[in-house]
Structure 1
Amino acid sequence: MAESDDEYVQDISDDEVEAHQVTRGAGAGSRATGQGSRGAGWEVTRTWENVVEGADGTISSTVEGLLEAGKRKRLLKDTTPLQRGIIRHLLLVLDLSTAMSEKDLRPTRYLLTLRYTKAFITEFFEQNPISQLGIIGMRDGLALTLSPLSGNPNDHISNIHKLHEQEPKGQPSLQNALDMARAALFHAPTHTTREVLILFGSLLSSDPGDIHATISALVSSHITVTIIGLAAQVAICLTLATRTNSSLPPSQTYNVALNEAHYRDLLMRATTPPTTPHSTAHDSGIKSSLLMMGFPSRIVDPSPTLCACHSRPTRGGYLCSRCSSKVCSLPTQCPACGLTLILSTHLARSYHHLFPLRNWREVSWARASRPGQRVCFGCQTLFPERPASVRLQSTSGGQSHDRMSLATSRSQPQPPKAAHTNSANKDGVSESGRYECETCERFFCIDCDVFAHEVVHNCPGCQSREGLLGSVTRNVRGETEVLVEGVAG
């Protein structure tokens, strides 16, 4: 037997080397596989050869379509109003073992995880301003507190920066990390969620005891665990995610990242608050509970005074509404009396999770041909013109599909319009490049669609109070009367 790779290659015959050559094209592939049963041939295909050219002879339109399909795929999600826990206590567990040195995710799993973690922290507090976050690391069979539970993203990001000076080392220990997470979440209030998110890159766990007993303790403490794997699916991770999330399918609690983009999507998915065991937010059987909060105003002292949170002299700060203790930043919990201190804007930024903005529908060329909306209502960008090769299909009833009666009460949901549900491919991309809000019936481009659903979480047409809901045309005593039903907003 050969003792090195070079000697092994030298021992292969010429026929076997030719049979295992990487070829391209049908002819070359058949030549490689035609060597008999001694070897197998591989055929490499280039994806850009399958790109279809547009009418102008370029692939720019096809590339734009692929980009638009990616944006729509990210936007199209369930917008059913659900009761969610918007006050969260989340512990992020990072794998700092030697398995994170692998380079299957560029540049390495370790460096990519640190970069995505900083982006996750920023997005987490942007979507959950009244929540708490903590970070735990797994290295050398131990669990380390990298950043305690806090509502200040700057502290967490600065602690993550320190990890760049260290190298992955040893083996991870899921049991020690889960025990530390359970101890940190033990005193969390009952009105908050208790969550653990694990970024696991190893295929084993060095545990000092029975991890199944730890899992049972997590279930009794109502702590949910979500895992993102970086190598392959591990049996104990699947058991952990399944037992702590009995009401959710495993596909929502344990996933393995396929590439860098998929890894980021899985991580950013955790920024959305989890649903409660109840079905919908409008369920009359839900028992509401009152939570006392303080809304202090910012003050500036003429001379520096000590704050109650860090014991550092500062001039600016906020006074607790109950005990008048001074804190540096909001949201936080008063160190003296324990009152939750937030701003009204923090609640406003969490409101869209309970009542998300509905997905906008695609607009067909027949619908887009109506006059008056040639530019995007949000950014005033000109919409593309209808190609000459596209022929408008006539619908029975003339314009009856475009004009629907709005005489019913606004409190009742309106049925979708027949002429509007047209020509959306499997990716949800509009053939006309237009997307319509069902309430104000304004047209928007894909960029405004992304901005409205991911940043502002409101429709510009509805908020501007200029979106005409519609009109009803009827014949009263031989005269045509147009009834304007109302203005959106």
Structure 2
Amino acid sequence: MADSDGDYVEELSDDETAHQVTRGAGPGTRSRKKGGLHSKRGPSGGQSQRKARWEDLKRSWDTVVEGADGSINSTVVGLLDAGKRKRSLRDTTPLQRGIIRHLILVLDMSSAMAEKDLLPTRHLLTIRYAQEFVTEFFEQNPISQLGVVGMRDGLAVRISDMSGNPTDHIAAIQELKVQDPKGHPSLQNALEMVRAALYHTPAHGTREVLIIFGALLSSDPGDIHQTANSLVNDKIRVSIVGLAAQVAICRELCMKTNGGDDSTYGVVLNESHFRELVIAATTPPVTRSAKTSASSLLMMGFPSRIVETHASLCACHSKLTKGGYLCSRCSSKVCSLPAECPACGLTLILSTHLARSYHHLFPLRNWLEVPWSDAGKSSYCFACQLPFPPVPDGHESASVATATKAGIAPAPVAMMTASATTSESSRYECTVCHNHFCIDCDVWSHEVVHNCPGCLSAPPRAPLPEDLSNGAATMTNGSLGSRNEMELE
């Protein structure tokens, strides 16, 4: 008779199995000892119960702690704050990066994208994140160029040409929603089309390709290893986001084109991790060799906006418009900036575009978590003026209380650290101006404005007695007042 659902038969070793067989159990029968097979006799002769493997599983809802009011709102808020804190923490080492980028986004449109392991489907979620990537890419890299390519039926399909207008790319990607994924992808055909698109790009910019790959195979007409060698010779860097599992050829492509570094290849775990891997590609890559980082002069134009009384044709789209920008060299009219003049080829940008690209070269330092012992000097967020939680009794240190009464800002204590966890006091301190901010202002300062509100509003003052070193650079709060000065050592 078969065992019931409540019975559990543990895994037996070879010796135990042989012992059971030699007891005369016939085919299809199972010998039973006293107490069943559930227990195993211990060294002292007692019975010890063994757990099943599934009993050791850790469930996420087991760690949820109810608040004083019986709800889990505090736990949910803590999880949300931890996610915000994780997004705001980045590598703040001032490295030389290529801020003029030429990137091709390659989307997998094969039948593998119809799977529903990523809701609603891989195809629809990829289109959604691709649109967010285009918007974020031009927010972080306003003087860069982008193109979109698709893979389906073993062919490479051009979705949008290389340009600096995010509206055209988003409209082209939006049209992919009505197209059902089918066929097999071809990495080689897509990479060959990318090589052709990036071949004539200027040498002062980077050449990159980001591939969102959902299949576990590639239908290639030739040797893809030769294509990988050609990418290395053309200085094209490949980054891949896998949606299914790790593929050997994808890892090899990333390693060859990135100087042996395979960190640009990642496989998604869930929807949020998918977005993190895609948005991470908006940060410019670090220049690896002295030859590519050599200084070179680049001619740019800074046109002014005009408003005409009568509509005229623009040189970029041949459409009638009353507003636009006149090229500073040939006076041709273009609709939007940044752009490349269709007549003379001059790069046309605004001064704000150039300034927005500099935050990659001089990143804002990570703010530190403030413990309760150093939280007594602030009651409100310095930026948004929202009140902080009051300091509990017995947590305020004597040094903080003395400094507060004397009107002197105490120095940050040694136990303050920058980690992905949330602060117990809901306060985060800038290491230069020592002002306290909330988690929302932390994310806003590091992801949007890339400047500290406290440093920008500080009056001019003498340099600090000690410098705050940051890798190969030294940051001082000197005579520039509201500006953090970076001096390379």
Short-chain TM bin? 0.7 to 0.9
Instruction: Look up the match of 1:25.
Output: none
What are the equivalent positions in structure 2 for 1:449-460 lying under 5 Å apart?
449-460=442-453
Instruction: Look up the match of 2:267.
Output: 256
TM-score, normalised to structure 1, is: 0.81
Instruction: Look up the match of 1:266.
Output: 277
- Structure 2 gaps of 5+ residues are 10-34, 41-50, 466-477, 484-489
Q: In the TM superposition, what is the alpha-carbon distance from 1:57 to its structure 2 partner?
A: 5.5
Tell me the distance in 2 between the aligned counterparts of 1:32 and 1:175. Answer: 60
Instruction: Look up the match of 1:307.
Output: 314
| 1:48 partnered with 2:36 | no
Instruction: Look up the match of 1:287.
Output: 294
Cα RMSD between the aligned structures?
3.3
- Structure 1 gaps of 5+ residues are 1-12, 22-30, 280-284, 406-415, 473-484
Shift in alpha-carbon separation, 1:468–1:379, aligned structure 2, 3 A: farther
Q: 2:367 aligns with which of 353, 360, 369?
A: 360
Shift in alpha-carbon separation, 1:33–1:311, aligned structure 2, 3 A: farther
Q: In the TM superposition, what is the alpha-carbon distance from 1:160 to its structure 2 partner?
A: 1.0
Tell me the amino acid that sits aligned with residue 464 of structure 1: S
Deviations 1:45-89 (A, max 9, x none): 542232234566654333322222222122222101111111110
Q: In the TM superposition, what is the alpha-carbon distance from 1:233 to its structure 2 partner?
A: 0.4
Tell me the amino acid that sits aligned with residue 15 of structure 1: D
Instruction: Look up the match of 2:472.
Output: none
**What secondary structure sits across from 2:203 in the alignment?**
coil
Instruction: Look up the match of 2:3.
Output: 15
Instruction: Look up the match of 1:379.
Output: 384
Tell me the distance in 1 between the aligned counterparts of 2:7 and 2:459. Answer: 70
Shift in alpha-carbon separation, 1:425–1:286, aligned structure 2, 3 A: closer
Shift in alpha-carbon separation, 1:245–1:403, aligned structure 2, 3 A: farther
Tell me the amino acid that sits aligned with residue 460 of structure 1: P
What are the equivalent positions in structure 2 for 1:69-88 lying under 5 Å apart?
69-88=82-101
Instruction: Look up the match of 1:346.
Output: 353
Contact 2:301/2:347, CA 8 A, preserved across alignment: yes
Tell me the amino acid that sits aligned with residue 342 of structure 1: I
Q: In the TM superposition, what is the alpha-carbon distance from 1:325 to its structure 2 partner?
A: 1.2
Instruction: Look up the match of 1:242.
Output: 255
Q: In the TM superposition, what is the alpha-carbon distance from 1:427 to its structure 2 partner?
A: 3.2
Tell me the distance in 1 between the aligned counterparts of 2:162 and 2:109. Answer: 19
Tell me the amino acid that sits aligned with residue 385 of structure 1: P
Tell me the distance in 2 between the aligned counterparts of 1:425 and 1:146. Answer: 42
Contact 2:241/2:266, CA 8 A, preserved across alignment: yes
What are the equivalent positions in structure 2 for 1:192-207 lying under 5 Å apart?
192-207=205-220
Tell me the distance in 1 between the aligned counterparts of 2:128 and 2:222. Answer: 33
Tell me the amino acid that sits aligned with residue 391 of structure 2: R
Instruction: Look up the match of 2:304.
Output: 297
Instruction: Look up the match of 2:23.
Output: none
Q: 1:118 aligns with which of 106, 131, 137?
A: 131
Deviations 1:241-271 (A, max 9, x none): 1100115x31x21010000000000000001
Q: In the TM superposition, what is the alpha-carbon distance from 1:287 to its structure 2 partner?
A: 3.4
Q: How many residues align?
A: 433
**What secondary structure sits across from 1:225 in the alignment?**
strand
Tell me the amino acid that sits aligned with residue 331 of structure 2: S
Shift in alpha-carbon separation, 1:399–1:461, aligned structure 2, 3 A: closer
TM-score, normalised to structure 2, is: 0.81
| 1:448 partnered with 2:436 | no
Tell me the distance in 1 between the aligned counterparts of 2:430 and 2:418. Answer: 18
| 1:464 partnered with 2:457 | yes
**What secondary structure sits across from 1:103 in the alignment?**
coil
Shift in alpha-carbon separation, 1:103–1:18, aligned structure 2, 3 A: farther
Tell me the distance in 2 between the aligned counterparts of 1:286 and 1:307. Answer: 36
Contact 1:81/1:356, CA 8 A, preserved across alignment: yes
Q: In the TM superposition, what is the alpha-carbon distance from 1:391 to its structure 2 partner?
A: 3.5
| Percent of paired sites with the same residue | 61
Tell me the distance in 2 between the aligned counterparts of 1:430 and 1:302. Answer: 57
Instruction: Look up the match of 2:18.
Output: none
